[in-house]
Structure formats: C-alpha cells, structure tokens
Amino acid sequence: MALRETLAEIERRFEALGPAVEQRIQSDEYLVLVRKAFRAWDEADTGEKQRYIANVLVNSAGTRVCSDDVIRLFIDWLELYHEAHFAVIREIYQNPGSSRYDIWSAIYGEPPREDSAEADLYKLLIRDLSTGSVIRQERDTNQLGQFVRKRPQRKRPGTASSTMESAFEDSKPYVLTELGKQFVHYTMNEVVTRIESHRQSTVE
C-alpha cells in the first residue's frame, strides 16, 4: 500500500513537471538512480526517509543542479543518516549560523548535563555531519572563494578553562556546506527551485 501510494505521488509530480522530463526519466542514467532509490526506499524504516527518497527521484528528474554521481551519494546519505541527523540539517538550513547550543535548543529545548547520554549522542551527530561534509563551522572567504585562516587568539595568563568544551558550545556558528545545501535541495524540497542558472548550465 505504501509503495503504491509513493508511486502514484511520484507520477503525479512528474505530470506537474510537464513533458520536458520525459527524455530524462526514460534515460539509462536515470533508471540506475530509480533502482538504487527504491532499494533504499524498501529498506527505510520510517516514512520520513521514504518521503525524502521520493523527493530525490522527482527533483533529479526536474533539475540538473549536480551530477548523477552526487545524487547517488545523496541516496547513500539517506540510508546512512538517522532522523536525528536530518533534524540538525533542517535547523541549520533554516537558521544558518546557529551554534550547537542554538541547534539543540530549537530542536529539543533545555540542554542536558554534559556527562549525559544525550550530550554524547549530540556530539556524535555533529561529528558525523561535519566529517561527512554536510555541515561546517562558518568561515570567511576571499574573492576567490578560498577560506581565510583565522588568526589564533592569544591566551591571557591565568585564563585557561578547567573544563572541556561543551557539547552545547554557543560561540561557533555552523552552516551547511555547498554539498549540504544541494542535499537539502534534492531531498527536503517538495517543489524544485533552481539554485543558480549558470551552475545548472555547467552541469548540463
């Protein structure tokens, strides 16, 4: 029943995109994505993941912001990450520059103790998404788009903290990477919007 409803929804959204997608959805490259996506859909343990996978299929038919290799990576992410990861991604997408404290507070409310299982899990979520190149700490860039090194802050004598950095640290802002933004674009947007016409043309 769920699969039938998903297929009907995908077909309806294909029709809304118009005849321009016909060649794309019949191509061998797209059918490879379909097979991979439905294997992931079948193994998904929540309706949220299944909805994101359906979004990938529709959005990758309707726009070509990034290559099919990247789309396959996004499907891998949907299999790998948990709904708790997606909650963090959504919060940073909606509020770029949020600190770890801001993100936790918006999703869960008052932060728990530093030595709690919840704090350990939260550090794991942030680490997973950071090492996976989905999120990063906000950095300045130069005119060429290169990241500028931060000047090290000089420590004043006698000011060293006796405690480790909090899981809910409140001074370092986080943003999505460009790859993370594309992931949101393809998986969490019900209606495709093109991210920059010139970027699309270079992919096509």
- pLDDT tens digits, one per residue of 167-198: 999 999 999 999 999 999 999 986 444 433 33
pLDDT digits (tens, 9 = 90+) for 121-132: 999 999 999 999
Half-sphere exposure of 41 (CA within 13 A, CB side): 21
* Last residue in a domain, options 36, 58, 80: 80
Distance between CA 174 and CA 91 in Å, rounded? 10
Residue 173 and residue 100 in one domain: yes
Residue 39 and residue 133 in one domain: no
Q: CATH number of the domain at 98, please.
A: 1.10.10.10
For residue 75, is pLDDT > 70?
A: yes
Residue 91 and residue 58 in one domain: no
Identify the pLDDT of residue 202.
Answer: 40
* Last residue in a domain, options 61, 80, 99: 80
Write down the pTM of the prediction.
0.80
Alpha-carbon dihedral sign for residues 165, 167, 173, 178: positive
Residue 108 and residue 189 in one domain: yes
Residue 93 and residue 189 in one domain: yes
Residue 36 and residue 92 in one domain: no
pLDDT digits (tens, 9 = 90+) for 39-72: 999 999 899 999 999 999 999 888 778 899 999 9
Residue 73 and residue 7 in one domain: yes
Residue 131 and residue 62 in one domain: no
Is residue 171 within 8 Å of residue 153, measured between CB atoms? no
What is the domain extent for residue 135?
Answer: 83-140+166-194
Is residue 187 within 8 Å of residue 56, measured between CB atoms? yes
In-domain check, residue 148: no
Residue 18 and residue 54 in one domain: yes
